Amino acid sequence: MLCLVGLTGCEGFIASAHWVPGEAPTEVPVRPPLEEEIDVCEPARVDVGRVTLRRLNRFEYDSTVRDLLGDSTRPAQDFPADDFGHGFDNQGDVLSTAPLLVEKYDTAALKLVQTALAAEYRPGFTQRLPATSMTASTGSASGQAWNLYSNGTIVGDVTVTTAGTYTLNVRAWEQAAGPDRSQLSFVVDGVAQGAAVNVAATAAAPQTYSRQVTLTAGTHRVGAGFLNDYYQAPDDRNLFVEWVELTRPASGAPGGSARILTCDPATGATCVRSILSQFGRKAWRRPLVDAELDRLAALVTLAQTEGDDVQQGLELALHAVLLSPHFLFRVEADLSTAPRALDDHELAARLSYFLWASAPDAELSTLADTGALRAQLEPQVRRMLADPRADALSSQFAGSWLWSRGVEEVSPDPVLFATVTPALKAAMKAQTEAFFGTFYKEDRSALELLSGTDSFMNDALATHYGVPLPGSASLVRVQGVPENRRGLLGHGGLLTITSQPNRTSPVKRGKWVMSQLLCMEPPPPPANVEAFAPSGTPTGTLRQQFEAHRAKPECAGCHAMMDPIGFGLENYDAVGRYRTTDTGGFAIDSKGTLFDGRTFTGPTELSQTVAADPRFAECTARQLFTYALGRAPVSTDECTVKNMTAAFSQNGHRFPALIIALVTSDTFTQRHGESP
């Protein structure tokens, strides 16, 4: 963050500019003042830096299990809220791990594994019908068997809950007679299944004859038939059936959709190790070493030794995978205090969690496995930005930077602003995120963040704004919006979150522009300073009341910086509706002056003034650096920020160019350890 040169209260630490309802502000280090900025990036001043071991935040956890297991239940919503640092909730230094969170991890991991295995694992099935309990069309009992002494069938009912292929087994022998063997048919629901088989077994050595049959879920009548009765005294050919059995072994359901059971674990240890290796590689974002795989496989063996089946053993091992620090944290080893290049798996994880807030996909993982990722960073960035998972940049990066994540939590006065419903606030939030998404998806100039003539609205939001309806209940893109709705400063969500519940706040709005768009943090207010309280019965505009408040010496320092910016947005009421008079009926004066003397009138000129300020491009680079690296830039990062800003400006202020400049920098692709 920037401090204004010469202002008191800027030394050491200052309060973070970021605010989210319910979150306490976090103190962050101040960047060097403008007068100390470096012009030449000398090697001695560059340090690739160190990122604290970072656990997955709630959004990253949900995104990771979504991509790993296909789970869309968002289990992390039950976790404790993540702390914010430097305006973002993915900062390594503040992502603590409390005992309650560990308990939540355990519960979530078990449920995730059980659900995933239940979807892919097919339990075994066996039901045996003794022949003497079945229904026969002919014959009589003979001990524990049934003697089919003439052509006929013996059948019984079996209920299966899962459709699929089963094995129909018949335990039988013949009483031989005539020139042929006894012929046995397999019967399902009155229909013979395939060709009959010749029975050569004897009473002294019965055999089991089998046939694969395909069944739907439900009750089926299964059994056996005798097809070639023969009698010529004294010879008599009969077929004896001891029992009929329907079976299906327990197995996985491998196939293109299988996320875990890529082979049938019932086939043995080789398949089990393959399942653990492949799942562990995805979950831990790197290949497992033999010792790690041995320990996981031993859990399966232990479960089976205790009498559990292979599914329960896999459940135990996969539960351990999801409770491991290698899953819950993004591990980058501190090998020494000297800078080192990240290995390709560490680099793949940095890249995927930056752009997708989730684990690397198959293509990134393959490039990492072959050591080819570093040479493919630019094409991979462009591929990843075109992927729907890049929407995380809108919801998480822009959502924090531009405060849209907090819009649904604000509570305007329900009496004064009864039309501001939860659905309307959701549309406000979505408007900003969808608008931001066009900048990395369409490679458009970031300067249009403040001046774009397009926007996203639905009928409810358009009604709130007083503009023509797009004719849609869902958010759609709208071109040629009125001037007062162009760019971020015309978004109702931003204007609402920077207001008081019952009135506008030039202070909050001015501070937001300074801190979020220009990275210039005003000093904190002096201790025990009297808060501004508007007049109950106004005799002048809110601006005039603020000017009177600012006349107090103890208030002048802060308000002289923020208020004149905020007054440029005073045409918008506390929920972002455009107006020309305030609540007291007084005409609004939207003239303003920036801290450096530049003047403007109204939101359009304010947007143009901010977009033309070189600090805007640098601040955008600084915000992106903080989000991507999980730490704020410090003095030794100024060269990286300077190079990012230069690439950003030289390429028409396109976000892909800014992102590529960052991910190809030494700061992103290297790290160093910490001194003991």
Burial class (CB in 10 A: 0-12, 13-18, 19+), 578: middle
Tell me the average pLDDT across 38-55: 71
What pLDDT does residue 38 have? 45
Judgement on whether residues 509 and 628 belong to the same structural domain of the protein: yes
* Res. 31 pLDDT band, cuts 50 70 90: very low
The CA dihedral of 8, 11, 13, 19, to the nearest 10 degrees, is 30
Same domain, 607 and 631: yes
Kindly indicate the confidence band of residue 205, based on its pLDDT and cuts at 50, 70 and 90: very high
Residue 428 belongs to a domain: no
Query: 196 in a domain, yes or no?
Result: yes
Q: Are residues 44 and 70 in the same domain?
A: no
Q: What is the pLDDT of residues 52-100, one digit of tens each?
A: 899 999 999 999 999 999 999 999 999 999 999 999 999 999 999 999 9
- Mark whether 532 and 662 lie in a shared domain: yes
Tell whether the model's pLDDT for residue 279 goes beyond 90.
yes
Percent of the chain whose predicted confidence (pLDDT) is above 90: 77
Lowest mean per-residue pLDDT among 337-351, 492-506, 540-554: 540-554
pLDDT value of residue 7? 26
> 384: helix, coil or strand?
helix
Which range is least confidently modeled, 29-38, 131-140, 141-150, 192-201? Answer: 29-38
Confidence bin at 4 (pLDDT 50/70/90): very low
Task: Confirm whether 130 is domain-assigned.
Answer: yes
Place of tokens 């009912």: 157
Residue 674's pLDDT band (cuts 50, 70, 90): confident
Residue 534 has pLDDT above 90, yes or no: no
In a domain, 412, yes or no: no
Q: Are 134 and 156 in contact (CB under 8 A)?
A: yes
State residue 530's pLDDT score: 55
Q: Quick check: is 490 in a domain?
A: no
Instruction: Render pLDDT for 629-664 as a digit per residue (tens, 0 to 9).
Output: 999 999 999 999 999 999 999 999 999 999 999 999
- Given this model, what pLDDT does residue 33 score? 38
The pLDDT assigned to 579 comes to 96
In a shared domain, residues 144 and 232: yes
End-to-end alpha carbon distance in the chain: 29
What percent of the chain has pLDDT above 70? 87
Residues 164 and 204 occupy one common structural domain: yes
Among candidate residues 200, 175, 174, 172, the one with its CA nearest the CA of residue 186: 172
Q: Which helix (H) or strand (E) is 221 found in, with range? A: strand 218-226
| Per-position b or e across 88-123, b if 16+ CB within 10 A of its CB | bbbbbbbbeeeeebeebbeebbbebbbebbeebbbe
DSSP 374-410: GGGHHHHHHHHHTSGGGHHIIIIIIHHHS-GGGGGG-
Of these ranges, 43-47, 48-52, 260-264, 667-671, the one predicted with the greatest mean pLDDT is: 667-671
pLDDT band at 123 (very low <50, low <70, confident <90, very high): confident
Mean pLDDT value across residues 22-43 = 42
Which pLDDT score is estimated for 15? Answer: 29
Instruction: For residue 479, tell me if it sits in a domain.
Output: no
Cα gap 416→577, rounded to integer Å: 13
The mean per-residue pLDDT over the stretch 196-202 comes to 96
Cβ-contact 469, 581 below 8 angstroms: no
| Domain total in the chain | 3
Q: Is the pLDDT confidence value at 541 over 90?
A: no
For residue 277, the Cα-to-chain-centroid distance in whole angstroms is: 23
Range 501-524 average pLDDT: 91
Give the domain-ending residue among 248, 277, 306: 248
Question: How open is the CA angle 355-361-367, to the nearest 5 degrees?
Answer: 100
| pLDDT score for 249 | 82
Residue-level pLDDT at 617: 97
Asked if 378 and 510 sit in the same domain, the reply is yes
At residue 334, the pLDDT reads 82
Q: In terms of residue numbers, what domain contains 103? A: 55-123+259-331
What type of residue is 96? S
Residue 13 pLDDT exceeds 80: no
At residue 596 the predicted structure's pLDDT band, cuts being 50, 70 and 90, is confident
Do 532 and 552 belong to one domain?
A: yes
- CA-to-CA distance for 338 and 674, rounded, in angstroms? 9
> What is the model's pLDDT at position 19?
36
Give the model's pLDDT for residue 155: 98
Residue 254's pLDDT is what? 56
Dihedral angle sign, alpha carbons of residues 448, 450, 453, 456: positive
- Amino acid 329 reads F
The answer to the question of residue 414 being in a domain is: no
Residue 445 within any structural domain of the chain: no
Model pTM above 0.95: no
At 644, list the tokens.
């990012």
User: Sorting pLDDT into bands at 50, 70 and 90, what band is 535?
Assistant: low
Residues 675 and 602 in one domain: yes
Q: Is the pLDDT of residue 253 over 60?
A: no
**Whether residue 119 is found in the same domain as residue 131:** no
What's the pLDDT band for 17 if we cut at 50, 70, 90? very low
Mean pLDDT confidence for 312-333 = 96
Mean pLDDT of the chain: 89
Of 199, 220, 248, which residue constitutes the final position of a domain?
248
Mean pLDDT is lowest, of 42-56, 139-153, 511-525, 560-574, for 42-56
Co-location of 576 and 595 in the same domain? yes
Q: What pLDDT score was predicted for residue 557?
A: 58
pLDDT tier for residue 572 given thresholds of 50, 70 and 90? very high
Determine the pLDDT at residue 264.
84
The verdict on 237 and 365 lying in the same domain is no
